[in-house]
Chains A and B, each alone.
Chain A
Amino acid sequence: MRRITFLLLLFCFAAMTSIGGGYQVGLHSTKNTGMGLIGTSLTYDASSIFYNPGGVSFIKDKWSLSGGINLIMARVTFQGKDVNYQAHLVHELNTPFYLYASYKATNNLSLGIAVNTPYGNSLSWGDNWQGRFLIQNLSFQAITVQPTVSYKFKNIVGLGFGLVWAYGNVKLNKALPIDYTGGEGQLNIQGSTIGFGFNAGLMIHPVKGLNIGIDYRSKINMDVQNANATFTVPAAVRSQFPDSKVEVALPLPANLDFGVSYEINEKFLIGINLCYVFWKQYDSLVFNFKTKTPSLGRTAMPALYQNRLIPRIGLQYKVNQIVTVRIGGYYDPSPVQTDYLNPQTPSSNEIGLTAGLSVYPFKGFSIDAAFLYLMGTKRDGTYSPENFAGTYSSVFYIPAIGLSYSF
């Protein structure tokens, strides 16, 4: 019953938002969220399927199930440059989720499946704000399904590989500066697509208490071939802006993660992670309208993202058999250059602080909670192709809850 309500929750509210850099989400296990979003070298539960498939074969139990949901509350204020104008991001609750299941087929061979939301960006600035000719609202979500196989050699080295199937959909609204009696022009784009990638990981367990993990998640090309573009324009210019199919291509960037964790004693664990995100793969957002007119063709919005390295650290303390607490932190440098800071992804260099708690009412079952606070930052920038300049001030509050059951 519990699981059923949980699933209902997911389907009602599933919507993602980017936190910190770009449009990567990073919230894939409430336990890991509590300790700085590290995970590459951890093997607590089936969330390793995502963090490092090489670690799945190290999971001790026959079955491991894990699921959870994050509640992202973003507060962003925009102050236009040299104008007497401020806008606030519309308050929305975004809810990236995860579901994992792993099965130990033999002592060394494990199988698993992950359903989660590694990428997404959902925000709304309202219909009438100053930047409406760039974006009014945007919702982009990618849900991935990853069947995985993992094998370990002599309890020392684990290798894992997962195929990633991604379903993505995008919805976008922006105003057009075409005036007519009673309003201005409007463009709506909606579409969905699927993409493929892979996730490969290596886990090394050289001595008791020490784990070293390396994981590579490939780029996934989300190429929406036949999105629907709907124009609201005055009849007089209708022939210039016919409703059209449009191709929208957005790459989900590759990640290379490296992590080390060490169990200092029965109670303490410390871990670090270095995550390298190949953001350069996002060069521009291209809209290729299939019905061409002199006003409609192929438009590229340059993004020119930069590759970034995210360092993370986390600590865990087992208070007793029932309670475990965690803290962590990380630094997420923005992949967006100052000249390309866009209200679609008002990203800035973020420091994230996390805290978490697990309660084990009985053996193998845990209720996990975590809280991630992305410290308020302020960033000046201009999206120069559209000459849109201003200061963005943002803060994120992200509580997360999850359940894990291993048996």
Chain B
Amino acid sequence: MKKLLFIILSLALFTSCERKINEYAADKGSANFTTYISVGNSLVAGYADGALYHDGQLYSCPNLISGQLQLAGGGAFVQPMVNSNIGVAVYPGVRPKFVLGYKADCQGIVGLSPVLAQGDMDPFAPVGYAVNNLGIPGAKSFHLIVPGYATMNPYYTRFASSMTGAVVGEFANLHPTFFTMQLGDNDVLAYALAGGSYDSITPIPIFYYAMKTVLGTLLATGASGVMANIPDVTSIPFFTTIPYNGLVIPRQSLADSVNMAMEHFYHLPFHYIAGPNPFLIRDMSASPPFYVRQMQPGELVLMTVPQDSLKCKGMGIIDVNTHLPYPIPGEYVLTTAEVTQIKGATSIFNAIIDTMAANRHIGLVNMNSRLKELNSQSGIVWDGVHMNTTFVTGGAFSLDGIHLTPRGNALSANFFIDAINQRFGSKIPYVDITKYKGVVFP
């Protein structure tokens, strides 16, 4: 018995070592990642939850990409860091980030909702150092070539090397060897976020000229890189969370009274039933005197619509005080015509981006098809993490319904890494998505 025990114990010692598998061997391929810069808008800057704040920047898509490039010769990646974890006061009245919290609505019902975070924001001040992340919240394509843009966009002012120059003027001084770019989203998104009421879609020739100039200036530095095209912005939670027929009438008797009022008092041909009904919206092409109509399937309500007015004041149907039809104002709605305009412009812009990328040997990140996949029934699954475009529970979009969570940024970074590896024959490992959080519950 003792002998056996001895044999077993020696075996136990012998087996204490681990099985070996070769570690992932990162390789830069034909690229040179020594000095990496990222160019573009808020998606590049690390803007999230409706603000630019410290942790959002740490989890910015380019910062995550940079972490992986550093395994294949990439250098340091400097961002214009905000110290506060709730925001930076770039202009008076700017809001801090959203967090998920409990809030009582107008009916006194307490529910989970994005609420403004408490605390101190960073005061607005230039950071005073050169940065690799040139992402500027709010920037459209042509903003990057406008001289003096630092006087117009305080997010750029924070790190601009000159108040009179253009963003494209920064490139050469940074001596980049590699770049990623995500630009052009705001050329359609800004119009969409305004409900098509103000702002405008960038005219095609201007978009074309701006992209050409930005890419030309980037490539003139000798850098190579990848760029993303523009996703269908109408599929993000900001536009899809409140359904067009979100007007729920609890009882048939109530629907009957609404029908009677519509027919006899206002002579409006709308019929209501118990259950979900389309909201009433303002439409100047509808008949006077009310200029209202019901929403159609495919039309979108913006997340910024005053929800208490919807719930308690009769917005979207009949004003509880004046008893007159109370349409949702146009700035909170994308009509079929506006959606068509946005989608049309997106596909033209993407044709331009795709062609320019191909002609200039820039790798292309097909963000448009990636967001379609995320927006599909099955969403995207990665290491057991199921993600989709649903607000909060989908895990990818942050509480502003527009920008990404750390997990969404990790996914986006992996799309970029795919494009980099494909274009340059490199072997950059993926970001481990399981390390990054989605929306954080209280």
- A83 near B4 with CB under 8 A, answer no
- Determine the residue in chain B with the shortest Cβ distance to A369: B4
Which of B7, B395, B434, B439 gathers the greatest number of chain A CB atoms within 10 Å?
A: B434
Q: How far is the CA of A218 from the CA of B33 in the complex (A)?
A: 61
- B441 near A237 with CB under 8 A, answer yes
- B383 near A133 with CB under 8 A, answer yes
Which of B15, B68, B395, B430 gathers the greatest number of chain A CB atoms within 10 Å?
A: B15
The yes or no answer to B265 lying at the interface (CB within 8 A) is no
Query: What class of interface size applies to chain A in its complex with B?
Result: 35 or more
Q: Cβ of B20: which chain A residues have Cβ within 8 Å of it?
A: 77, 393
- A181 near B440 with CB under 8 A, answer yes
Q: How far is the CA of A221 from the CA of B12 in the complex (A)?
A: 35
Query: What class of interface size applies to chain B in its complex with A?
Result: 35 or more
- A177 near B385 with CB under 8 A, answer yes
Q: Cβ of B12: which chain A residues have Cβ within 8 Å of it?
A: 73
Which segment of B21-29, B87-95, B133-141, B175-183 sits at the interface? B21-29
List residues 45-91 of chain B with CB under 8 A from any CB of chain A.
68, 71
The yes or no answer to A268 lying at the interface (CB within 8 A) is no
- B8 near A79 with CB under 8 A, answer no
Q: How far is the CA of A371 from the CA of B23 in the complex (A)?
A: 31
Given contacts A179-B440, A236-B100, A236-B441, contact A83 B24 (CB under 8 A): yes
- B11 near A131 with CB under 8 A, answer no
The yes or no answer to B437 lying at the interface (CB within 8 A) is yes
The yes or no answer to A101 lying at the interface (CB within 8 A) is no
- A75 near B429 with CB under 8 A, answer no
Q: How far is the CB of A126 from chain B (nearest CB, A)?
A: 13
The yes or no answer to B199 lying at the interface (CB within 8 A) is no
The yes or no answer to A291 lying at the interface (CB within 8 A) is no
The yes or no answer to B109 lying at the interface (CB within 8 A) is no
The yes or no answer to A132 lying at the interface (CB within 8 A) is yes
Q: How far is the CA of A395 from the CA of B16 in the complex (A)?
A: 12
Q: How far is the CA of A391 from the CA of B23 in the complex (A)?
A: 11
Q: How far is the CA of A111 from the CA of B375 in the complex (A)?
A: 64
- A134 near B440 with CB under 8 A, answer no
The yes or no answer to A378 lying at the interface (CB within 8 A) is yes
- B23 near A86 with CB under 8 A, answer yes
Q: Cβ of A180: which chain B residues have Cβ within 8 Å of it?
A: 440-442
- A367 near B385 with CB under 8 A, answer no
- A369 near B7 with CB under 8 A, answer yes
Q: How far is the CB of A140 from chain B (nearest CB, A)?
A: 19
- A79 near B23 with CB under 8 A, answer yes
Q: How far is the CA of A275 from the CA of B440 in the complex (A)?
A: 51
The yes or no answer to B381 lying at the interface (CB within 8 A) is yes
The yes or no answer to B256 lying at the interface (CB within 8 A) is no
- Determine the residue in chain B with the shortest Cβ distance to A71: B8
- Determine the residue in chain B with the shortest Cβ distance to A177: B385
- B11 near A371 with CB under 8 A, answer yes
- B19 near A73 with CB under 8 A, answer no
The yes or no answer to B1 lying at the interface (CB within 8 A) is yes
Residues of A near any B CB (own CB < 8 A): 71, 73, 75-80, 82-86, 88, 91, 130-134, 177-181, 184, 234-237, 367, 369, 371, 376, 378, 385-388, 391, 393-395, 397, 399, 401
List 20 additional A-B contacts (Cβ < 8 Å) besides A88-B18, A367-B1.
Answer: A77-B18, A77-B20, A77-B21, A79-B24, A84-B71, A130-B432, A133-B383, A177-B434, A179-B437, A179-B439, A236-B441, A236-B442, A369-B4, A369-B7, A376-B19, A385-B381, A393-B20, A399-B7, A399-B8, A401-B8
15 residue pairs A–B, Cβ–Cβ below 8 Å? A75-B15, A79-B21, A82-B429, A85-B24, A86-B21, A86-B23, A133-B383, A177-B407, A177-B434, A179-B437, A369-B4, A387-B383, A394-B19, A397-B14, A399-B8
